[in-house]
Structure 1
Amino acid sequence: MTTHGIASPRAAILERLDHFTSGWALGTPLSLFESSATLSSSAHGEHHGAAAVADVLALDWPDGHAVHIESTNHYVGIDGDRAVLGAYLYGRVTPANTAPLLFGALLVGELATSDSGWLFTRLQLTVNWLDGNHALVARWNPPRPRRFWDVGDNAPHLVNELDSPWARLPGAKVAGTAKDKVAEVFMRYIWAMDQADFGQMRDTLAEDIAGAFPPIGDLKGRHEVMGQLKDFRQAWPWMQHFCVPLRIDIEGDHAQMLLGRVIAQRPTTAEGAPLYGAHYRIELRRQNLRWQIFWFEYVEGWITTPPDA
């Protein structure tokens, strides 16, 4: 384990995330939480105290189930001795003799520094969707089925305008390298798209943005892009785009980025290599110290390696 103080804050916090996903998948008690930490989970409810949080997560998987959980769409923000982490999670639960289960979730973590490194003070875990054998997580509070709102539905667990990582610690600075800061713009955009927070999306897009947005078509101008995406998003409230930066190039105030879209149902080839169901070609410009997307191209089709620019 890389010790706190040697790794950069971003690397140390993403290492905490890796320990969380691997520990959760293995059903082992997690020692990643401050003593008074809280868990707010759409699946598990509200839990207070490090021991209670670790215990409830350790009970999720019956013996004999193989569980694998991956994270994408990372954002790390730092404000002094506090930090915020945003990530998408997808997991596969594979029992020995019955059908498997896939799930998608959003994670928003608040952390503080300690003698033991970065520890979670608050963890918000929102399960977006389930696909497959729901009986494997019978103890969870299930997410809303894939449909529109209906009378009697519970309030959403995550309200992006209040709960996104950018809202939870609004004074935070993007942690990491210049490339991480470019990638953050897209992560903020796609999080806003999936959570229908078009106020958050606005600052990620240049006024003159243009590009290809299948299946909608070619669009031009922030007003048209946001308007069409807003209407498109309404039909899929469970939408979740798992994305991984494949290449980022920066030259002065211009940046180019290629990202792969991970399909949770098929994230790798038969040989175990990363597989992407589509990719994005993004161009950004920096004005007044702020990066914004001015060219956006979504390219459908399976790829295993970054395409040529």
Structure 2
Amino acid sequence: MRKRDKIKEIFESFITALEDYEPERLQDLLADNVQSDFSTIGSYQNAEDLIKALVWKGPKMNVSRQHILNFVCRTNGDIAQQSAYVMVLTGIDDGKFLYSFEYGGKYVMSYTEIDGEWKISAIKYDLDWEKGNTAFAKGWKLLDYKLYAGHRAMICSEFDSPWAAIPENDEELTDEEQIIENMFKYSFGLDNCDFSLHHQSYTDDVVFYAGDKVMEASARHLINNFKNTAHKEHALEHAIKIVDIEINGDEAVLYGYRVEPHRLGSKNLNRDTMHQSFYSAKYKNLLRKIGGQWKMYELHYQPGVFFEIDEEKKHYIDNI
């Protein structure tokens, strides 16, 4: 098993323990001296204190779902750096009404191989959005919409991103995996205002289509457009479900759905719709392999809320 695949399993175990409200199960995943910085619950210097802090302080819930998106992992010897976005639905279904609390945020995790086992050595988490009954999240520090990130940011992409922490990945990725990682580099750089990283995902002559219209027709103008957007919102979060990838030599097309459960337009979350996955836009992005690196040269963004029925319970929701 590749290192990245093992770490993907560990991160899913981490998220599953939180989903099940059983943080004590994290003990085997964490290094004893794990350093953790959560915008919601504070900072801790060891596993014991972190596990205590992660105990759910709100009422007992009978609805709990966590979806993982934008997973990236880079490795070098006995260290690894991994990022992911996680969308959470939690609440109480009393048989007549759904009382819900939803939130989403970004994780950056550091791993170290200790005596042949991978352990989480550092965690950084930034809450990006919240919706619903915030009283359920008793004791959490929630968002102050006057501030960048809505709080003191825990993640600094220029130091913490997988690409900054591990510039040279020591495991070979397939073309498909490289294309996916490139898409998530686009999101991570954009959402953390690391525009140098973001720019690495596409060519200088990139064209961005919003529907049938050209929104921007160069990297310079696209970056300035996104900077303007970043100034208007406390936080950006471009979580993307990868739907399909088509590769033909040095050309490729990536299809994806944008995941924004807090922006449903005329749609509503309730007992009848809580098993639906809502999306706010579709991507069709064209890529070319240039100097051994996949880069986007056209981005086609089609906004509009739609949904799919969750046919199976899974944490990693990408189709591939």
Query: 1:27 maps to what in 2?
Result: 21
Q: Provide the TM-score with structure 1 as the length reference.
A: 0.85
Q: Distance in 1 between matches of 2:182 and 2:57?
A: 34
8 Å Cα contact 2:210/2:303 also seen in 1: no
- Structure 2 vs 1, CA of residues 216 and 199 (structure 1 numbering), >3 Å: closer, same or farther? farther
- Residue deviations 1:90-125 (CA, integer Å, cap 9, x gap): 112203568321111110001122456322011111
Q: Distance in 2 between matches of 1:182 and 1:284?
A: 8
Q: Distance in 1 between matches of 2:127 and 2:161?
A: 14
1:125 aligns with 2:125: yes
Deviation at 1:212, TM superposition (A): 0.4
Deviation at 1:137, TM superposition (A): 1.1
- Residue deviations 1:119-141 (CA, integer Å, cap 9, x gap): 20111111122211111112112
State the secondary structure of the residue aligned to 2:54.
helix
Pick the aligned partner of 1:292 from 267, 270, 295: 295
User: Any gaps of 5 or more consecutive residues in structure 2?
Assistant: 310-320
Deviation at 1:274, TM superposition (A): 4.4
State the secondary structure of the residue aligned to 2:244.
strand
8 Å Cα contact 2:185/2:197 also seen in 1: yes
1:282 aligns with 2:297: no
The residue type equivalent to 2:6 in the other structure is A
Alpha-carbon RMSD across the aligned residues, in angstroms, is: 2.8
State the secondary structure of the residue aligned to 1:105.
strand
Q: Distance in 1 between matches of 2:160 and 2:245?
A: 28
User: Any gaps of 5 or more consecutive residues in structure 1?
Assistant: 1-6
Q: Distance in 2 between matches of 1:229 and 1:11?
A: 33
- Structure 2 vs 1, CA of residues 213 and 169 (structure 1 numbering), >3 Å: closer, same or farther? same
- Residue deviations 1:158-205 (CA, integer Å, cap 9, x gap): 222223232233343576432111111110111112222211112111
Deviation at 1:69, TM superposition (A): 1.5
Q: Distance in 2 between matches of 1:96 and 1:71?
A: 23
Q: Distance in 2 between matches of 1:175 and 1:89?
A: 26
- Residue deviations 1:239-260 (CA, integer Å, cap 9, x gap): 2122011111222221211011
Pick the aligned partner of 1:10 from 4, 22, 27: 4
State the secondary structure of the residue aligned to 2:223.
helix
- Structure 2 vs 1, CA of residues 172 and 237 (structure 1 numbering), >3 Å: closer, same or farther? farther
Identity %: 19
Query: 1:101 maps to what in 2?
Result: 101
Q: Provide the TM-score with structure 2 as the length reference.
A: 0.83
Deviation at 1:41, TM superposition (A): 0.8
- Residue deviations 1:33-90 (CA, integer Å, cap 9, x gap): 1122121111111112222222321345543443222110111111111111100011
Q: Distance in 1 between matches of 2:71 and 2:93?
A: 32
